[in-house]
């Protein structure tokens, strides 16, 4: 998308250097990377960068509108509602398709947003190594929101560790070291000094949670939550505490926001970057051109259950009692935004936001890119292809 950078990168690329890069990235993370790393970064024009950052902030604020928040009460199932909810989602991610505009230009269009953190630590390490390994110009930036690296690290420390001893702060996940994202957990542990804990093995003593370390119980004062209820429920895991228990702990990213800001939010957003989305149970009749829509379940992860261009039979096959948990979203025509030796590649650009207590607006801090040529984006839907997968963003400063 920045032609001179794209041309130079493609001409200098070699498969051997790419294999060496992946090896170095694994060594840097000291953990396996459970998803495909693309051969290329994403060179994003400054106007696209700014449009996505501004759009992400505006959409995050719309998702905190008091009227919408009343409606989002419907997303909280009693068994998963956590007490003492914060007044805002500390972490948000906003995913934009690099779409084809009316005149063939590349324009951002919202795909999804979630009140949940993403790979903030990994993307820092990923971008730094990418710039060094491939010899990219020093004037290329990879930190979002006009921040420096030190400012982002300070922001993450204040958001996640706050005033606590890092020993009493845990990154909480289900079976963390076997997750595809464990590379991020390792980097976050390195950057912040926190402990990575398996949610199955924390111990509840009275009204407090603890983890075991060197034969002693360490009290947990603050939780950076990365555990996804969908996965816990799907795997039938029994937790040592209930989500609704009154527990003496602070949340760096309160779990309720995962539900409140989600696919459920999309039909309520009135913004130029947002395609039409309708709850399935509110449709008097189906559109004639179903091929121009995407059927999405509200509560799933990694693209599970999504049908691009569904048939009438597939839509009607959703049980009546489940139709309020599905949306039909206008299908977006992706631009072949990245020129590669394998042809044009499509991209989604994720903006990661942190919203600190007392601040009027969330801050964009990092970006993440997914590239693909399949019917759906995401590494699980583009297997056996090259020049696709996860990437980092660079823009001209």
Q: Is the pLDDT of residue 106 over 70?
A: yes
pLDDT, tens digit, for every residue of 380-389? 566 678 999 9
Nearest residue to 196 (alpha-carbon basis) of 205, 188, 207, 206:
188
Q: What is the pLDDT of residue 9?
A: 97
Structure tokens at 360: 């009027």
What would the mean pLDDT of 347-368 be, rounded to a whole number? 97
State the DSSP H helix or E strand holding residue 344, giving kind and residue range, or none if neither: strand 343-354
CA distance linking residue 100 with residue 102, whole number of Å = 7
What is the four-CA torsion angle of 31, 36, 41, 46, rounded to 10 degrees? Answer: -100
Coil, helix or strand for 383? coil
Q: What is the pLDDT of residue 380?
A: 59
Provide the angle, in degrees to the nearest 10, between the axes of the packed helices 15-29 and 182-192.
50
CA distance linking residue 56 with residue 269, whole number of Å = 12
Q: What is the pLDDT of residue 230?
A: 85
pTM of the model: 0.94
pLDDT, tens digit, for every residue of 161-198? 999 999 999 999 999 999 999 999 999 999 999 999 99
Give the DSSP letter string of 247-315. -S-EEES-THHHHHSSGGGGGG---TT---EEEGGG-SS--S-GGGEEEEESS-STTTT-EES--HHHH
What would the mean pLDDT of 61-87 be, rounded to a whole number? 96
CB 293 within 8 Å of CB 331: yes
Average pLDDT of the chain to the nearest whole number: 94
What would the mean pLDDT of 250-274 be, rounded to a whole number? 96
What would the mean pLDDT of 55-82 be, rounded to a whole number? 96
């Amino acid at each position: 998308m920045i032609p001179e950078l794209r041309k130079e990168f493609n001409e200098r690329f070699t498969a051997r250097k790419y294999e060496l890069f992946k090896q170095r990235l694994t060594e840097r993370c000291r953990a396996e990377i459970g998803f495909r790393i693309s051969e290329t970064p994403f060179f994003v024009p400054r106007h696209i960068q700014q449009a996505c950052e501004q759009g992400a902030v505006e959409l995050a604020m719309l998702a905190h509108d008091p009227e919408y928040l009343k409606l989002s009460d419907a997303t909280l199932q009693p068994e998963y509602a956590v007490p003492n909810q914060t007044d805002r989602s500390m972490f948000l991610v906003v995913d934009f398709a690099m779409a084809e505009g009316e005149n063939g230009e590349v324009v951002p269009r919202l795909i999804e947003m979630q009140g949940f953190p993403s790979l903030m630590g990994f993307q820092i390490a990923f971008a730094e190594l990418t710039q060094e390994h491939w010899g990219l110009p020093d004037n290329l930036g990879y930190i979002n929101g006009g921040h420096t690296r030190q400012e982002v690290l300070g922001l993450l420390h204040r958001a996640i560790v706050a005033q606590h001893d890092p020993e009493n702060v845990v990154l909480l996940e289900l079976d963390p070291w076997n997750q595809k994202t464990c590379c991020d957990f390792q980097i976050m542990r390195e950057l912040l000094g926190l402990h990575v804990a398996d949610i199955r093995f924390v111990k509840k003593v009275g009204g407090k949670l603890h983890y075991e370390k060197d034969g002693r119980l360490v009290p947990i004062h603050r939780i950076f939550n990365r555990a996804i209820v969908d996965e816990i429920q799907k795997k039938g895991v029994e937790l040592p505490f209930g989500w609704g228990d009154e527990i003496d702990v602070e949340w760096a990213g309160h779990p309720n926001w995962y539900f409140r800001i989600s696919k459920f939010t999309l039909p309520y957003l009135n913004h130029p970057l947002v395609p039409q989305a309708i709850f399935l149970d509110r449709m008097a009749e189906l559109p004639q051109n179903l091929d121009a829509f995407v059927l999405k379940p509200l509560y799933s992860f990694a693209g599970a259950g999504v049908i691009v261009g569904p048939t009438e039979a597939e839509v009607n096959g959703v049980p009546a009692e489940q139709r309020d948990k599905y949306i039909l979203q206008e299908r977006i025509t992706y631009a072949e935004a990245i020129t590669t030796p394998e042809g044009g590649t499509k991209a989604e650009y994720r903006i990661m936001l942190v919203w600190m207590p007392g601040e009027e607006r969330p801050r964009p801090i990092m970006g993440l890119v997914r590239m693909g040529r399949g019917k759906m984006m995401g590494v699980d839907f583009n297997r056996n292809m090259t020049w696709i997968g996860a990437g980092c963003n660079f823009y001209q400063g």
